Amino acid sequence: MTAGPNLFEQQARNRRLTVAWLALFILFFAWLGFGGDFALYLAAAAHSEGPVPYRFPLIGVVVTAVAAVVAWVSWRKGPQQVLWSTGARELTAPQTLQEKQLVDVVEEMAIAAGLPKPRVYVIDDPDPNAFATGRDAASACIAVTTGLLAIVSREELQAVVAHEMAHVRNLDVRLMTLIAALVGVIVVLSNGMGRFLGMGGGRGAGGLLGGRGKKGGEGLGLAALVVFVLWIITLVLAPIISQIMAMAVSRDREYLADATGSELTRNPGALASALEKIETHEAPTTSIKAGAAHLCIADPLGKDVNLKDGRLADLLATHPPMAKRIVRLKGMAFQQLKAAGQAPSS
């Protein structure tokens, strides 16, 4: 049984994606900040008879500074914020048999994955779900709902925990924590810039972009207008595009974690069975909000688009279709039995 790309290939791919996201983040804010300054500079040059009055790139400096601070805080505090937002409680001294079994299973899967034992959390929510978060294996945390503990067997719980350990081992938690932080910054700053323009902050820009310019400045004025329009379009579309990109990465990670987790347990059928039980509970996981939806083993929001396949789902869903994941896992289980000579004859 194989999970496709090996561990080192998966980790290398996640490192490349991390670098690519950082590069896109830097380019976006360079454009959002200094692109606005460039538009205002061209407009000022078109209207000025003497030296251009707009010399200091104020928008670029402010946007870059705010983005850097918010991104750093989100990266450092992101996992703790996710756990806090769900009301998760750490199992430092498990009380019930279910909690003790969970701690034992996490220890077993950490040994199987060759990783330090993550911190274990429980979320008091009747809907079955689970997720992993953290910046790396040393800071990783695994959280499951009480609803999950109530419905799964030990083998199924082991399979779910192995899926989450796969996210840790494959460096998915680092990638997804970074993406969540960067997308959050893009949304916050895009909304902030939009409010600034709506509240009249764009009146100065409107005055520069409109009105009568100096003689021969029509070309510069037109260039300024084109740059400004492109800047506004970027401001509007950036949050949407960044979230779509984040969801695409999340869907791809789920397939890999299913396969890698099945390698850890050598029991893909148990994960298929656990996912079937999770799927039968239609109620959303109310304790887990949209900001952490991409981290979960199943969509906590109950969106219909996650049940479908095709181009629209590929754009809007946070998870691949559950039915498709289950079929893949059952296929892996059949191949495992076939290799052992235990597959049922047709």
- CA 269 remoteness from chain centre: 27
Contact between 197 and 143 (Cβ < 8 Å): no
- The one catalytic residue in 99, 107, 156, 164 is 164
The separation between CA 210 and the C-alpha centre of its own chain, rounded to angstroms, equals 41
Q: Using CA atoms, how far apart are residues 24 and 251, in angstroms rounded to an integer?
A: 20
Rounded CA separation 297/300 (Å)? 9
Question: Any catalytic annotation for residue 164?
Answer: yes
The answer to whether the CB of 39 falls within 8 A of the CB of 227 is yes
Rounded Cα distance between 178 and 172, Å, is: 10
Q: Which residues of 94-118 are buried (b: 16+ CB within 10 A; e: fewer)?
A: eeeebbeebeebbebbbebbebebb
Instruction: Give which of 183, 180, 182, 128 is closest to 156, Cα–Cα.
Output: 128
Report the catalytic residues.
164
